[in-house]
Each structure stands twice: as C-alpha cells, then as structure tokens.
Chain A
Amino acid sequence: MASAMVSLATITLGSAASTVTFSSIPGTYRDLRLVLNLGNNSNTGSVMRFNGDSGSNYSYVYMSGNGSGTGSSSGTVTYVNLASNIYSNNTITDTYFVDIMDYSATDKHKTVLTRGNNAATGAEADAARWANTAAITSITIVGLAGSQMIAGSTLSLYGVIS
C-alpha cells in the first residue's frame, strides 16, 4: 500500500513575496494538507484564497490563546482566515498545519481546519468555509493587508489519498 500523504510541491522563498500560488492541483486526492513556516515583514500574518476567489465567500470561527488570555471570533471575509492571532515581524516563526477537507468534491462547500502557532504571539485553532461547490484547483497564500512573506519562508502542499 502506498503512502497516503503525497508531496505535491514545496516552495522556499528566495525573496519576499506578497503571494504564493499552488496551481493546477489534481483532483485525485481526498484532502489537501498545507504545512507552512512563514515570516512576515509587517508584524501581521497570512491568509488564503481558493481558485482566485476574492469575494466575500469565506467564513470562519477561531479560538486562540496568547499567554495572558483567550479569544474567539467568527465572521465572513474575503479569504480563508488561517490564524488571526499568529503573526511575526521579520522572523520565520509562524507555523500552520492546514487541512482542506474533500477539496475536490463538487457537491459541498469546502471546510478548512487550521492549527497556527507562534511562540511569541499565541496558539490558535480555526475552522473556515469556502461557500463554493467547485473543486479547488488553486491555492493562493497572501500576506495580509499588503504585507509580504519574507525570504526563507517555506510552503509545502500534500495530497491525502482517498
């Protein structure tokens, strides 16, 4: 039996970038997993979009702890909220495990589960939804509010077989 988690692509940024896109994602897996180790140049974090959709088609709920308190919030936005309270300033200390479930199904909206961590700023768990039944064929990671992911940031995409 072959391994159920297959590496599809890994990107290490040679220079700062405001977006990174995984495109032409095959529809032959059940779930996708993103493993991200990022740094940001503007004391903020990163978000995600599917198939280039920048409309208000994403909703989220999260819970977080920052070492002195906890928080939870929800809403509708124009991106998948990876982890609102995970951010860095020119250090590669943001880590995310992102599971995109049933990404190629065309009979349901898409649910994303994320764990984000930064030892300096906090730990967070998120659930998000892309309100679209289309199969996901591209994923774009975006620096929030015009920020950039710094050189040395790594982004890895895996397919989980069905």
Chain B
Amino acid sequence: MTVNRFSKASLSTPTRYRSLMAGEAAMGDYELISTTVLGSSAASVTFSGLGTSAAAYKHLQVRAVVRAAGNSIFSRYNSDSTSGNYRSHGLQGNGSSVLSEDYTYARDKGMIGGFMGLDATIPFALISDILDFQNTSKYKTARTLSGRATGGVALDSHVWMSTAAITSVTVLTGAASFTVGDRFSLYGLK
C-alpha cells in the first residue's frame, strides 16, 4: 500500500477551516463571539466563559449602541470591582472645548464612554478594543472611541491592573439601566 504525505507547500494561499464538515465556512481573523440585544432593561451585560469561547483570539472588541438616561459606561473584567484595580484617562470633545480627564471616580472599573451622559433618544455608540486579553504576564489595556451627537465624543483608555487572563467582560452603566433594544457585541481578533 502506498502512503502519500499531504503537504500544503504547493498552496500559495491556504484557507483554514475549523472542520471539514460540509458547509463549514472558512475561518477569519475577526470573528463574532456573541451579541446581546436587550429584551428588558438591565444594569449590566456580561460576556462570560471567554477562556473557552475566545481562546483562539489575541484581542477582543466590544461594540455597543445604547439609549438610556444614565451616566457613563464602564467595563469590568472577571467581576473585579476592587477599587484601585483600574485607571482611566480620556480626551473629550463636548462641542465647545477639548478636555483631558483622569477619571478618578472610576478606580473600580474602566471608563469606556458617556462622559456627556446618555440619552433616551439619541443612540450612544462605542467601540472598545481590549488588547492581549489572555496574556498572564502583563496588565490589560483597552482603548475606546465613543460618542453621541451632539453631546460629545471621546477617546478613552484604561488599564486593569491584573495579570490574570480575562475570562469575562461586564459592560455596566453608572446610573439607571440599559434599555430594551440596547445592543452589545463581542468580537475576537487574531
């Protein structure tokens, strides 16, 4: 019996598949992990089990669109709400001036937007990138672009001062609750 060795050496642009089951789509480098659209109000939304569902990724991205009469939006990792474990800074444009902010009121969570306050009609949007989230030799950093017209736009960054791998991400608002229809998506990047 002849045994042939299969090699991809002749393939110039190999396509990777998670499995060879019929209909399986090719893997990408930017993939949706989970989306939640609220059917009822909630104070927070948590993406959990990331040690399994996000094990293949290098970075995470949170995308959200919310309408709520609340104040600011934050991230917490692994349910850590210890004061002093987070530090956040931001650059804010409020429609008349540009401000630099050290969010001293957010030492138990990471700031990801909403300094101008949220609005029940005008959607507030954010895109937050969490870098190297599984690395156990460094603190975790995130950067966020967020805003709503005409309230304000912000570029924020925060650090979670833990070397633990991130296994859950909680998005929460400082006051009131997220409302029906608010949407939160988590993506993985390789």
| B-binding residues in A (CB < 8 A) | 1-5, 30-31, 58-65, 70-76, 99, 101-102, 105, 107-113, 115, 125-129, 160-162
- B-side contacts of A75, CB under 8 Å: 150
By the criterion of a CB under 8 Å from any partner CB, how many residues of chain B are at the interface?
43
Assess whether A70 is in contact with B98, with CB atoms less than 8 Å apart.
yes
Assess whether A31 is in contact with B63, with CB atoms less than 8 Å apart.
yes
Stretch among B71-79, B81-89, B121-129 lining the A interface: B121-129
A56 to chain B, nearest CB (A): 13
Assess whether B28 is in contact with A72, with CB atoms less than 8 Å apart.
no
The 7 closest A-B pairs by CB, nearest first: A3-B28, A63-B93, A127-B147, A74-B95, A72-B93, A2-B25, A70-B98
7 additional A-B residue pairs with CB within 8 Å, beyond A30-B183, A111-B147: A4-B187, A61-B94, A63-B92, A74-B94, A109-B121, A113-B127, A129-B149
- A-side contacts of B122, CB under 8 Å: 109, 111, 129
Stretch among B1-9, B44-52, B151-159, B166-174 lining the A interface: B151-159
A89 to chain B, nearest CB (A): 25
Assess whether B155 is in contact with A60, with CB atoms less than 8 Å apart.
no
Bound CA span A61–B30, Å: 29
**8 Å CB interface, B133-170 against A:** 145-155
Assess whether B150 is in contact with A161, with CB atoms less than 8 Å apart.
no
- B-side contacts of A108, CB under 8 Å: 65, 67, 123, 181
For the A-B complex, the count of residue pairs with Cβ-Cβ distances under 8 Å equals 139
Q: List 18 A-B contacts (CB under 8 A).
A: A1-B27, A1-B32, A3-B27, A30-B63, A59-B149, A70-B97, A72-B93, A74-B94, A74-B95, A74-B96, A74-B150, A102-B65, A105-B181, A108-B181, A113-B126, A127-B148, A128-B149, A162-B35
A37 to chain B, nearest CB (A): 19
Closest to B122 in A: A129
Closest to B92 in A: A63
- B-side contacts of A62, CB under 8 Å: 93, 153
- B-side contacts of A113, CB under 8 Å: 125-127, 145-147, 153
Assess whether B125 is in contact with A101, with CB atoms less than 8 Å apart.
yes
| A-binding residues in B (CB < 8 A) | 18, 25-32, 35, 63, 65, 67, 91-98, 121-127, 145-155, 181, 183, 185, 187
Other-chain contact of A127, B30, B67, B152, B187 (Cβ < 8 Å): B152
- A-side contacts of B181, CB under 8 Å: 105, 107-108
Bound CA span A126–B122, Å: 15
- B-side contacts of A72, CB under 8 Å: 93-98
Q: A72-B97, A101-B125 are in contact. Are A3 and B31 (CB under 8 A)?
A: yes
Assess whether A115 is in contact with B29, with CB atoms less than 8 Å apart.
no
Q: A63-B92, A129-B122, A162-B35 are in contact. Are A4 and B28 (CB under 8 A)?
A: yes
Assess whether B30 is in contact with A109, with CB atoms less than 8 Å apart.
no
B21 to chain A, nearest CB (A): 13
A44 to chain B, nearest CB (A): 21
Assess whether B150 is in contact with A111, with CB atoms less than 8 Å apart.
no
Assess whether B152 is in contact with A61, with CB atoms less than 8 Å apart.
yes
Assess whether A162 is in contact with B32, with CB atoms less than 8 Å apart.
yes
Assess whether A111 is in contact with B28, with CB atoms less than 8 Å apart.
no
B99 to chain A, nearest CB (A): 9
